[in-house]
Amino acid sequence: MKDFPMVFDLLNPEIIPSHVDNHIIRKLSSLRGQFYDNKAFEDMLAIEDTVIYEVYEIKRPEVAGEMLMGISIVHPGKVGQEFFMTKGHYHTILETAEVYYCMRGEGFMVMENPEGEFSIECLSPGRVLYVPPRWAHRSICTSRQDDLITFFVYPADAGHDYGTIEDRGFHKMVIEKQNSIEFIDNPKWNK
Ligand code: PA5
Ligand code: NI
C-alpha cells in the first residue's frame, strides 16, 4: 500500500469508487436477536437469507494516524414492522469518533454510549453526522424503495466491538406503525 496522496470520485460515474479493497455483504442471519419481532425474523429467514446491507471499504493500515473510508448501503425493507439496519457497534478503541456523510436515501443513525445516554439523528442526502468518541452507532434505512447510502471515515485503528450490541441491542428501535415512524424502547433494556 503506497503512502502517497490519493483521490477518488464518489458520484461520477457511479456511487461506488472504481477501486475498493473489500466488499462486505451482510445477510439477515447475521442480525439474529436484534429485531423486535423474533417470529417475523425466523419466518423471513426460513424463506431466504436476504441481503440487508453492504459495505465497500477503502483499506489503509490499521494503525494510529491512518483513516479508513468506505461506503455503507442499507437496503430498504422491514422485519415485521422494523426497518432494515446494520448490526451496529462500539469501536474497540472506545475513544475514537466517526464521520458519516449521507449521499442518498433516508433513515436514521441510532446511537448510545456506555454512560446510558442515547441519540437518534435523521439521515438525508447532504447531511453530515459526527459520531463522537464512546458512541455506538447503527444505521437504519426507512425508505420504502431506496437504499440508504453513506460515506464514512474513522481512525484506522478503531476496530469494531460487536459483542456489546449483540447482547442487548440498542435502547431504541425504529419501527413503522400505521404509516408513521416510531421510536420504541427495546424490551431487552427494560427487564
Ligand atoms: O465503522 C463503521 O461505522 C462502518 O464502517 C460500519 O462498519 C458499516 O456501516 C457497517 O455497520 P456494522 O459494522 O455495524 O455492520
Ligand atoms: Ni464505526
Q: What is the 3-state secondary structure (H, E, C) of 50-81?
A: CEEEEEEEECCCCCCCCEEEEEEEECCCEECC
Cβ(70) to ligand 1 under 6 A?
A: yes
Cis peptide bond upstream of 13, omega within 30: yes
- 190 or 92: which leads in pLDDT: 92
In percent, the amount of the chain with pLDDT more than 90 equals: 92
Enter the pTM of the model. Answer: 0.96
| 53 Cβ contact list (under 8 Å, min separation 6) | 26, 72, 73, 74, 75, 84, 85, 86, 139, 141
Q: Which residue has the cell 427494560?
A: 190
162 pLDDT exceeds 90?
yes
User: All 3 cell numbers of residue 62?
Assistant: 490499521
121 pLDDT exceeds 70?
yes
2 pLDDT exceeds 80?
no
Per-residue pLDDT, averaged over 3-23, amounts to 89
Q: What integer pLDDT is reported at residue 178 of this predicted model?
A: 93
Query: Are 52 and 75 contacting, i.e. CB atoms less than 8 angstroms apart?
Result: yes
176 pLDDT exceeds 70?
yes
Per-residue pLDDT, averaged over 19-34, amounts to 96
Tell me the C-alpha distance between 15 and 34, whole Å: 29
36 pLDDT exceeds 90?
yes
pLDDT in tens, 61-88: 999 999 999 999 999 999 999 999 999 9
* Confidence category of residue 1, pLDDT binned at 50, 70, 90: confident
| Terminal-residue alpha carbon distance, the chain | 49
- Pick from 6-10, 22-26, 117-121: least confident: 6-10
| Ligand 1 closest atom vs CA 91 | 1
Q: What integer pLDDT is reported at residue 191 of this predicted model?
A: 63
Tell me the C-alpha distance between 182 and 170, whole Å: 15
Q: What integer pLDDT is reported at residue 149 of this predicted model?
A: 97
Cβ(56) to ligand 1 under 6 A?
A: no
Per-residue pLDDT, averaged over 118-127, amounts to 97
Nearest Cα to Cα of residue 82 among 73, 70, 74: 74
* Confidence category of residue 93, pLDDT binned at 50, 70, 90: very high
Q: Considering the chain, what is the average pLDDT of its residues?
A: 96
Cβ(107) to ligand 1 under 6 A?
A: no
Q: Which of 55, 69, 111, 121 best tests ligand 1's pocket when mutated (most atoms within 8 Å of CB)? A: 55
